[in-house]
Copies of this chain bind each other. A is one copy, B any other.
Amino acid sequence: MPVSSLLVSSSLALQLVSGAAPAGAKPVSTPSAAPVKAYMPPLATAEKLVGPALTEGRAYARLAELTDGIGPRLSGSEGAAAAVQWALRSFKADGVKAWTEPVKVPRWVRGEERGEVLASPLTRGHPLHLLALGGSPPTAPEGLTAEVVEVTSLEQLAALGESVKGKIVFFNHTMAVPADYGRFAGLRGRGPAVAAKAGAAGALVRSLATASLSTPHTGSTRFDDAGPRIPAASITTENAELLHRLLAKGAVRVKLVLGGSELPDADSHNVVAEIRGREKPQEIVLISAHLDSWDVGTGAHDDGAGVVMVMEAARLIAKLPQAPRRTVRVVLYMNEENGLAGGRAYAEAHAAEIPKHVAAMEMDSGGGRPVGVSLRAGAGGQALLQPWMSPLVSLGAAAFSSREAGGADISPLMPARVPFFGVEVDASRYFDVHHTHADTLDKVDPQDLARSTAATAWVTYAMAESPETLARPEAPASAPVAAPPKAATGH
């Protein structure tokens, strides 16, 4: 149905449009943009998306299948392979066409791991509660014993020069709130590689955590292909505080035994699904999340929640009497956590299609309640979406966020200037459990998840149905980094 016929087909709609955007009124949110064309979105459709998302509990039930049933899903693991098959089966059950696309992924496996602060005049000794960082090589079987040197930045490490040779560099920091993640994630991501180049024998990184009950947070660390690699682990904030207190009084020696190791790259898959658009099927609205998780916990918030949100959005959109104008494509990426191979593989395999990607989102900040809508687009984006916001009011998500939309796996689409959108969720407690044994189903509130699922479904529909598409944003000043944009945005 062309736009004009929709606009004139209902006197009620006309009346509402007149009320929503009276002639001559400037759009509230984009005073400098061109006036928005009067358009009445099909609000009756909102009921068909928001209603079931809030009442049927399908997203939560599916999250239970993924977390309780399948469990951890680190790239290359049996769990990851099981999740790919589960996603295919689930899309099929939903009547959504789906397929896999090949991704070669790194395969890091955790081994035995333990550590201790050795007895000294300062202490009778303490166990360390740690998790090897993904990418860490193993210690020798008998372990690594060395003195600890504390630093709080890469600059401070550089200033120490040769004095760290043979020692274990301890990266301490002051993360207290989610927004600190971006400030300190580099200590985990790059600190061990830098310490290795300086001749250190090992690295310990304070967990990137907003809370701890003796809860280490793992994560990825990246060594240069040609550079030296040293065993590296995260320790609990409690252990970091202990080391800090002891080091203030004298020398501290630590013993580490880490068995983690990198196996040969493995064959894995992205799972891709789509609902073909009724008018412009070649135009693609991509919605995504990552199917892999860390090997501890069950990845309920990271990123099981995102997975089930976009799967449920697709299921509900597929059940509508009429498909939206454009194609909605779901991608469940593999290997966000320790490589981003899935995001790159998609961008490469679909290079010819990327100019037709009119919008992309990745839900990857946990299963909290929705708090707003974010965009990364050219001028006029908010004005374009404004007429679609009313169904989000009761979900608590009708505000535009000041944050830019983004996502690690969709970052390879940035050079092509694909506009991004997103549903921003409450992530205030996300870093309590992120990358820990505690990222489990019980941490996800079913009602919060349902509300974010409803918002995701509706905003996706808006992108696929809106007569206009988002203006393309500027290309990034530099090539997108391999590090998850999470680190930059605070997620």
Binding site for B on A (CB under 8 A): 64, 68-71, 78-79, 82, 122-126, 129, 211-215, 237-238, 241-242, 245-246, 297-298, 432-433, 436-438, 440-442
A123 touches B437 (CB 8 A): no
Taking a contact as CB atoms closer than 8 A, the residue among B213, B432, B442 that contacts A433 in the complex is B213
Taking a contact as CB atoms closer than 8 A, the residue among B125, B237, B246, B438 that contacts A214 in the complex is B438
* Chain B hits for A71, CB < 8 A: 123-126
A70 touches B213 (CB 8 A): no
Interface centre among A126, A214, A246 (most CB of B within 10 A): A214
* Chain B hits for A215, CB < 8 A: 213-215, 438
Q: In the complex, how many angstroms separate the beta carbon of A234 from the nearest chain B beta carbon? A: 14
A245 touches B64 (CB 8 A): yes
Instruction: Using CB atoms, name the residue of chain B closest to A300.
Output: B238
* Chain B hits for A82, CB < 8 A: 124
A212 touches B214 (CB 8 A): no
Taking a contact as CB atoms closer than 8 A, the residue among B64, B123, B213 that contacts A211 in the complex is B213
Instruction: Using CB atoms, name the residue of chain B closest to A432.
Output: B213
Cα A440 to Cα B71 with chains together (Å): 31
Taking a contact as CB atoms closer than 8 A, the residue among B78, B129, B214, B440 that contacts A238 in the complex is B440
Interface centre among A124, A211, A238, A433 (most CB of B within 10 A): A238
A437 touches B79 (CB 8 A): no
Q: In the complex, how many angstroms separate the beta carbon of A52 from the nearest chain B beta carbon? A: 23
Instruction: Using CB atoms, name the residue of chain B closest to A209.
Output: B213
* Chain B hits for A297, CB < 8 A: 214
B441 touches A241 (CB 8 A): yes
With A79-B124, A124-B82 already in contact, the answer to whether A214 and B245 are too (CB < 8 A) is: no
Q: In the complex, how many angstroms separate the beta carbon of A77 from the nearest chain B beta carbon? A: 10
* Chain B hits for A70, CB < 8 A: 124
Could you say how many copies of this chain the assembly holds?
Answer: 2
Cα A213 to Cα B298 with chains together (Å): 13
Instruction: Using CB atoms, name the residue of chain B closest to A237.
Output: B442
* Chain B hits for A213, CB < 8 A: 211-215, 432-433, 436-438
Instruction: Using CB atoms, name the residue of chain B closest to A241.
Output: B442
A238 touches B122 (CB 8 A): no
Q: In the complex, how many angstroms separate the beta carbon of A40 from the nearest chain B beta carbon? A: 44
Q: In the complex, how many angstroms separate the beta carbon of A98 from the nearest chain B beta carbon? A: 21
* Chain B hits for A212, CB < 8 A: 213, 438
Cα A70 to Cα B122 with chains together (Å): 9
Cα A245 to Cα B64 with chains together (Å): 9
* Chain B hits for A122, CB < 8 A: 68-69
Instruction: Using CB atoms, name the residue of chain B closest to A215.
Output: B213
Cα A308 to Cα B241 with chains together (Å): 20
* Chain B hits for A64, CB < 8 A: 245
A214 touches B436 (CB 8 A): yes
Taking a contact as CB atoms closer than 8 A, the residue among B79, B124, B242, B440 that contacts A440 in the complex is B242
A selection of 5 A-B contacts at a CB cut-off of 8 Å is: A126-B298, A212-B213, A238-B437, A241-B440, A241-B442
A68 touches B246 (CB 8 A): yes
Cα A211 to Cα B241 with chains together (Å): 21
A238 touches B442 (CB 8 A): yes
Cα A123 to Cα B82 with chains together (Å): 11
